[in-house]
Structure 1
Amino acid sequence: MFTILIVEDETKIANIVAQELRGWGYDVYITEDFQKVEDFFLQVQPHLVLLDINLPYMNGFYWCERIRRHSNVPIVFLSSRTETMDMMMALNMGGDDFIQKPFSMEMLLTKIHALLRRTYTYHQTETDILSHRDMKLHVKKAALTCSAGEIELTKNEFRILCILLEHKNEIVLRDELMAALWEDENFIDDNTLTVNINRLRRKLSEHGLDDYIQTKKGQGYMLI
């Protein structure tokens, strides 16, 4: 049974979502003390977190950063904020998805089901190590290493790099990447993929792996 933690200060929304998720067989916890979100997360050890941005005391961005110190568990932001910058901030802080309020329960459930399947199902590649130039991706451990050391990746960054490594020196279309990441690209803003690609490039560059991911304008990306 998967465990889901809801960090939402609007009690009505939290209870409605929790009731629906429990109906699907999930074990659900609702945060009550918004000064101890991190402690409650460590106590519950959930498989996925639903996290509001506007919270008492500290906002969702702060708690996302605190959770990321302990775990790569999928985090889905729920927010009434509509600015593109808020979505980009959520993803840059380590979130896996961003859903604007008001949202349909069907949309929320679809994203949760897909995230849990992708996160807790091993990649189907036949080899344990995918390598290219000065980097090695250890698939079973989801770890990336190079001569400068180990590079920590989010789950989406790992999946993107895995796909690019499996097709190195070939163009991988944006639609193909989005379909592989989210299974239904109609649910995802195109900016979301761009944010993840740019964040991955930055991490590679910080470890001396510059210009590994090349953009093919109007098509997609290629690992060179």
Structure 2
Amino acid sequence: MFKIFIVEDDKQLVSLLEEHLLKYGYETQSVENFETVRTRFEQFTPHLVLLDVNLPKYDGYYWCRQIRNVSTCPIIFISARDSKMDQVMALEHGADDYITKPFDYEIAAAKIRSHLRRAYGPYALTQNERVVTVAGLTLNVERLTISFNGETIDISHTEAKILDELIKKSGKTVSRERLLEKIWDDQAFVDDNTLNVYVTRVRKKLALLHIENALQTIRGQGYRLIADWGDE
């Protein structure tokens, strides 16, 4: 049974979410003390998190970072903030998706199913240990890490899926459509700007390993990984 952790201070919304998710066979747990979100998360060990932005004490961005320090499980923001900047900030802080309030519960359930399939189901990268390498850059698909010159950093499921495709087709342009297909099984729910944000996150992760300007944007087509850092 998949476990869903709900971090939301609107008790009525929490009740409705739990009621709806129960119909799909999910186990849920919500938060009452918003100073102990990370502790409760580690105790519950959920498969997915639904996280509001506006929370008492610390906001959702803070707790997203805290969760990312200990887990790569899918995090979906649910918020009344509907600006593009809020959505970008959520993704930049480590979220996997963003749903604006008010939302259709069936769409929310579809997004949850999609992310659970991608992280743990038949679409998951982590079913078998697999490593892909180009020019000394190694992506461990199982452990969600990338390594270069003796340094290793953690990445998210989505970042791993993007890098997996780019590394396998190093030097070739990978279309935006192919990356969207690789990451999400139902593109109808995906804002095109979301892919831009994830690619930016991948660039930042590569920069942490001192790999700069390797991930190129091919205007009107997609993205290309140029693995010439090994020649430097």
TM-score tier by shorter-chain length is over 0.9
What letter corresponds to residue 71 of structure 1 in structure 2?
S
Tell me the number of residue pairs that the alignment of Structure 1 and Structure 2 aligns.
224
Aligned positions of 1:44-55 closer than 5 A: 44-55=44-55
SS, match of residue 95 in structure 1: coil
Question: How far has the Cα of 1:127 moved from its partner?
Answer: 8.0
Provide the identity percentage: 39
Counterpart-to-counterpart distance in 1, 2:217 and 2:15: 44
After superposing the two structures, state which structure 1 stretch, 118-127 or 162-171, moved more.
118-127
Q: What do you get for the CA RMSD once the two structures are aligned?
A: 1.7
Residue of structure 2 in register with 1:16 after alignment: 16
Q: Shift of the alpha carbon at 1:19?
A: 0.7
Structure 2 residue 221 is matched with structure 1 residue 210:
no
| Structure-2 residue corresponding to 1:149 | 151
**1:69 aligned residue:** 69
Answer yes or no: is the 8 Å Cα contact 2:48–2:74 preserved in 1: yes
Equivalent residue number for residue 110 of structure 1? 110
Partner residue, 2:95 = 95
1:49 aligned counterpart, secondary structure: strand
TM-score normalised to structure 2 length: 0.92
Q: Call closer, same or farther: CA 1:23–1:141 in 2, change over 3 Å.
A: same
* Aligned position for 1:183: 185
- After TM superposition, the runs of 4+ consecutive aligned structure 1 residues lying more than 6 A away are 124-127
Q: Does 1:37 find its partner at 2:37?
A: yes
Residue equivalent to 1:58: 58
C-alpha change, 1:181 and 1:63, in structure 2 (3 Å) is: same
Unaligned regions of 5+ residues in structure 2, if any?
Answer: 227-232
TM-score, normalised with respect to structure 1: 0.95
Q: 1:127 to 1:116 in 2, by over 3 A?
A: closer
CA contact (8 A) 1:137 1:143 kept: yes
CA deviations on 1:179-208 (whole Å, 9 max, x unpaired) are 221112221111111111011112212312
CA deviation string 1:122-141 (max 9, x = no partner): 43999822111120112222
Segments of structure 1 that go 5 or more residues without pairing to the other structure are none
**Alpha carbons 2:161, 2:183 under 8 Å: kept:** yes
Whether the 8 Å CA contact 1:175–1:185 is kept in 2: the answer is no
Answer yes or no: is the 8 Å Cα contact 2:114–2:186 preserved in 1: no
Structure 2 distance, partners of 1:38, 1:31, is: 10
